[in-house]
Every structure is written in C-alpha cells, then in structure tokens.
Amino acid sequence: MKMPDPQAFASTWMSQFADPGAWQQWMKVPELNGQAANPLAPLLKDFGAGIAPSKLEEIRADYLQKATRLWQDFMQAKTPELKDRRFSAPEWAASPVSAFSAASYLLNSEFMTALAEAVEAQPRDKQKIRFAVQQMVDAMSPANFLATNPEAQKQMVETNGESLTKGLANMLNDLQKGRISQSDESAFDVGRNVATTPGQVVFENDLFQLIQYTPKTEKVRAVPLLMVPPCINKFYILDLQPENSLVKYVVEQGNTVFMVSWRNPDNALSHVTWDDYVEKGAIKAIEVTRAISGQDKLNMFGFCVGGTIVSTALAVLAARGEQPAASLSLLTTLLDFSDTGVLEVFVDDAQVAIREQQFSNGGLMPGRDLATTFASLRPNDLVWNYVQQNYLKGKEPPAFDLLYWNADSTNLPGPMFCWYLRNTYLENKLREPNRLTVAGTQVDLGKIAAPVFIYGSKEDHIVPWEAAFASMSLLNPKNAKANRFVLGASGHIAGVINPASKNKRSYWTNDKNGKTRPKTAADWMAGASEHKGSWWPEWDAFLAQHGGEEVPAPVSAGNETYQAIEAAPGRYVKIRAE
C-alpha cells in the first residue's frame, strides 16, 4: 500500500487553496449501519485485515453516544470543550459553529483512530494502517481550511484581505520551490551565521571533506575526536549558531576535533555504494586523522546513520586486526533494527524491491523525497502548521536555524540507499555476527574493542530510545562496565542539540548497577535517575576519561602530507540538492 504523503496532499491543497469540499465530506457523521459503519473497510481489504464484530459494535455505540451528546449540546448553545492545541485560540470557542465543527472533527478523529487500533492484523500491517489513518485525520482538520478556520477569517477581515493576498503569494513561492517553507531561509548563510566554528579542511576526496577545528585552549587532550555525522543531512546540525553548537562546545572543553563533511551527491556519485561510505568515507577519515594527530587511537563519534557507518567501519577494521578507537560515542543510532518506530511503514519487501529496480543502474535518491518522508512522521508540526500560518494567515515563517538546516536536504546515491534499506531496516543483518560482508570483510560489532557512550532521546520518533539502548548488548558483550547509556528529553534532533549553557530540559542516567548491566531498556529505566539540564557534560566527562594526557594544542591544521585546503566549513556543505 502506498503511504499517504502529507507534502503532496498539501500541494494539492495549495492548488485548490482550501477548497472545503473534502472537509465537508469528512465532517459527515458516519452512517451507523452496514458497511458504512466501518469507513476503514477499503483500507483493511488491501491488507486482508478486519475488526472483530463485537469490537466494531462497541466502537460504534461509543461514537453514537458521544455524537448524540455533542448534538444536544450544540442545540442548547453549550460550547464544547476543545482540548486539542490546534483549537486553543479564543476564536474557536467564540463561534458556536467553529467550536462545533472542531468538536465534530475531534470526535470523528477519535472514531477513526479507535477503528485503526482495533484492527486485527500483523504488527507491521497494523502500523501501516494506523499511520495511514493518522495522515488522513491530520490532513482533514478544519484548522487547515480557510472556510473553516476562524483565526484565518478574523485575520483576513482585520487586514482588509491583505493576509489572504500574502498567503497566496507565499503559496505560489512554495509551489515554485516544490516544498513548504518552514523558516526564513534568507536569514541564514552557511559559514556566515551557521557552521561558523573556525577550522580548516585538511583532506577531501569525492565523498567527503575532513575539517580540523582550531583549538580554543592552550592544551588539549592527546586523543583527538573524530565526528561522523549522518549523510542523510548536513553536518552543521552539530555546528549551528555558536550558542547551540555541539562542535564549539567540545572544542572549548579541550578536544582536537575533526569532522566529516559528506558531499551532497550529484550524478557523478550515482553508483556509490554502502561499502564506499565505509571504506572511502569513515575508514579513510580515520586514517587521515591518525596521520595528522600522530595518535594511534581516536575518540570516535557517530550520529544517527553516521553512527551506523562508523560502527560498521570499526567492525571492518577489527576484522583486519586494527583497533583505532579509544572510545565510541553513538547518538540516536540504530545497530539493531528490530524496532524502527514509525519508519517501518515505509520499508517492506515490495517497497524495497521497487527502489532496487529503480536504482539497478545507479541514480540518486532525491533529498526532497527523504525530507517529505521525515515530514510525514510529524505532519501537524512539519506540514499543516505551516499551511495554516503561511497560507491561511499570510504570515512569514520565523528565522529558525534548526528548520533552515532541515530544509537544506541532501541526496543519496541510489545503490547505497537500497543496500541500507534491505540489509538493515528490512533484514536487520548488522546485529548478527558475520552475517554481512562490507568492504570485503565479514562484520561483527562485538569485536570492536572500545568503551561506548550511547545516547538516546526519550521522544525520538526516528530512533526509539529503546532501540538505541539495544546497542548496549551488541557492543562489548562480555564487558558490563565498558558501556554507558544516557537518555535525554525531547526528540531526535532537539534532544541532541541541548546546549549545556542554557540548562534546559533534563536527562536520565543509571549508574547504580555496578557490574550488572540491565538487560532491557525497561530494566534500565526502572533504576534511572533524572537530572535537570543538558547531557553534554556527561559526554564530556566520558571523553575526558578516554582522552589521554594533556598536550600543547597544535599550532596549525594538518601536516606536511595533509595540508589545509580551505577554511571551514568548506565547499561540500554549501552544495544544495537540485
């Protein structure tokens, strides 16, 4: 089944500019007899799934009772209570019609969601059904349509139609760009006010540039830190503005920091494979960093898929008899793909086979398609919120560095993307010793001889924190004290980018178990303690533990073999996807 695409739905919405016809159809109370009582019937037929008659009757009865009560309240001019934040503005409660339409929508949404939850199907199929229903439910909110959004109507009246004119202009601009604007993109420039930590590019090949950052302290820890970010997005999520830059923070703590800046693939890289990202990417970066620093051991770092790449690279090197890692830090990383959260709705045999056929002779997975996929995971926040603000109310999106980065998408080589989908998300081979051959070598993650710091985000919808925790049993399986797990508040990105200086949010640790490693995430959480503020100092303490002695900071970047090429952030990060 093809998953609903909220960005495509929004594009259709834009072409009609809030035609309420679809909404009016949605708002009809479901007939409570025969097949019409189960509006999911066509969807369930695709999966060969169904709902037990007794459960369906229970859901129908509950719906009828609530619908009758809502209608009675409306006839008695009693304003319904709207607890959803989409309808929290006073304009919704001020208008009985708007309040009733929002309440009716919420009731119908509850009905559809209850049906999805009641479906009897295989877990993966049920997840797809649940996801598809949620996409439709979110898309049909009356807040998304001019004809049914009292906030937008009030704005139009107060501005004498100027908000409508501006909204149309915003919509047309976005149609030309092919995506919804989430931030004022004119406010940022890579290298000027994001990705500004000083440094030099000291190596480059067709796949990446290697940045060496300028030390901020007179002395540094002898063991350098090599950071491998995800290739699905650009590295400067770790180096946004100075006040929330993780790179700046670790440099200021006395680390010599190297960063991989992946090239944004064009047609010249359309045949690049996963092996290339491991061998010519991560392993080459390790080789160059060791040569420049003069150190045999490095503190290794991987974020998201960057963590999957660097872990695979270290396993390949271990099989070759090399152990270059003094430590390994993995942030929101999957090594065991048993639980991939909602992303699993996009990965099955049929969908992967389609991609493999598409890229059988090479090609590029467009960055905009990847961005659309991730937006669909949180459509209310990443799609419909901007439809309402930018188009219905005619407002300009604010300047927000994280969302500017989010829109700066990257392509992926088709062969690499297909290998990644099949061998990790679909068949979950990486967790099994010697099941995969990468760069001509069998991979066993358990052979990596390095202490590990693993971070997960509590509300992560891309890498569920329990799935991040699963790496604890794959790495150093015989050494209970070698690994440390820290859980941060918030999501996949906001949880990571939580500056120590702002002292916001919280994090959890569990250091009570001594030599006994909790076997499950639930066991770990049961003994965990919550701490206010950022988890960054916890990570810095881990780096310091494995950073070696303090030595004079290098006076210049690179060495005789690897000389400075250009100033950070370099050329590669500035290349935008077509």
pLDDT score for 515: 57
- Select the more confidently predicted residue: 37 or 109: 109
Between 23-37, 238-252, 545-559, the lowest mean confidence (pLDDT) is in: 23-37
List of long-range contacts for 466-469, beta carbons under 8 Å, 24+ apart:
466/339, 466/521, 466/522, 467/334, 467/336, 467/337, 467/338, 467/339, 467/340, 467/341, 468/330, 468/332, 468/333, 468/334, 469/521, 469/524
How confident is residue 513, by pLDDT bands cut at 50, 70 and 90?
low
Q: List helix spans (H) across 427-535.
A: 465-469, 521-526
Residue owning tokens 């490693």: 517
Of the candidate ranges 233-242, 326-335, 505-514, 529-538, the one whose mean pLDDT is the lowest: 505-514
| pLDDT 10s digits, 472-486 | 999 998 886 889 999
27: pLDDT strictly greater than 90: no
What average pLDDT does range 194-207 have in this prediction? Answer: 98
Angle (CA) 206-210-213 rounded to 5° is 160
Q: Nearest to residue 426, comparing CAs of 315, 338, 360?
A: 338
Q: Which residue type occupies 337?
A: F
pLDDT tens, position by position, 290-319 = 999 999 999 999 999 999 999 999 999 999
362 - beta bridge partners?
360
- Dump the DSSP string for 218-255: SEEESS-EEEE--SSS-GGGGSSSGGG-HHHHHHHTT-
Task: Give pLDDT tens digits for 321-352.
Answer: 999 999 999 999 999 999 998 888 888 899 99
| Residue 38 in this model has a pLDDT that exceeds 50 | yes
pLDDT tier at 125, thresholds 50, 70, 90? confident
Q: How many other β-carbons are positioned within 10 Å of the β-carbon of residue 70?
A: 18
Helices 53-75 and 96-118: crossing angle, nearest 10°? Answer: 170
* Backbone angles phi and psi of 556, in degrees to 5: -150, 160
Mean pLDDT of 242-251: 97
Averaged over 135-159, what is the pLDDT?
A: 95
pLDDT in the model for residue 15: 44
Q: What is the percentage of the chain residues whose pLDDT exceeds 90?
A: 79
Antiparallel, parallel or unpaired: β 298-303 and 225-228 = parallel
Query: Taking a C-beta distance cutoff of 8 angstroms, is the pair 534, 498 a contact?
Result: yes
Which tokens sit at 569?
């952030």
* More confident position, 343 or 261: 261
DSSP state of 277: I
The pLDDT of residue 375 is 87
**pLDDT (mean) for 135-154:** 95
Do residues 362 and 271 touch, judged by C-beta distance below 8 A?
yes
pLDDT band at 23 (very low <50, low <70, confident <90, very high): very low
- Whether residue 572 is predicted with pLDDT greater than 90 in this model: the reply is yes
The predicted pLDDT at position 296 comes to 97
Q: What is the pLDDT of residue 374?
A: 87
Q: Which two tokens stand for residue 134?
A: 């949620």
> Which pLDDT does position 514 carry in this prediction?
53
Q: Three-class SS of residue 45?
A: helix
Q: In sequence order, which residues have a C-beta less than 8 Å from that of residue 546 and are 6 or more positions away?
A: 223, 299, 326, 327, 451
First CA to last CA across the chain, in angstroms? 28
Instruction: Tell which residue, 222, 292, 283, 232, has the closest CA to residue 258.
Output: 292
Query: Residue 379 above 70 pLDDT?
Result: yes
Is the per-residue pLDDT at 33 higher than 50?
Answer: no
pLDDT of 4 reads: 46
User: 509 - beta bridge partners?
Assistant: 486, 529
Looking at residue 504, what is its pLDDT?
A: 87
What are the start and end residues of each CATH 3.40.50.1820 domain in the chain? Answer: 199-343+424-574
What's the mean pLDDT in 395-421?
A: 95
Predicted confidence at residue 97, as pLDDT, reads 92
Q: According to CATH, what is the number of the domain 199-343+424-574?
A: 3.40.50.1820
pLDDT tens-digit profile of 267-281? Answer: 999 999 999 999 999
Q: What is the share, in percent, of the chain residues with pLDDT greater than 70?
A: 92
CA distances from 139 to 26, 155, 189, 330 (A): 10, 22, 33, 35
CB 262 within 8 Å of CB 229: yes
Question: For 42-56, 104-118, 517-531, 542-556, which range has the lowest pLDDT when averaged over its residues?
Answer: 42-56
Q: Is the pLDDT of residue 512 over 90?
A: no
Strand partners, 329: 301, 453
Q: Average pLDDT for residues 232-261, to the nearest whole number?
A: 97
Q: Are 412 and 362 in contact (CB under 8 A)?
A: no
DSSP 8-state class, residue 567: E
Separation CA 120–CA 220 (nearest Å): 59
Integer Rg of the chain from CA: 26
Average pLDDT, the chain: 91
> Which 3 state secondary structure label does DSSP give 330?
strand
pLDDT score, position 471: 96
Structure tokens belonging to residue 550: 């303090």
Q: Name the residues annotated as catalytic.
A: 304
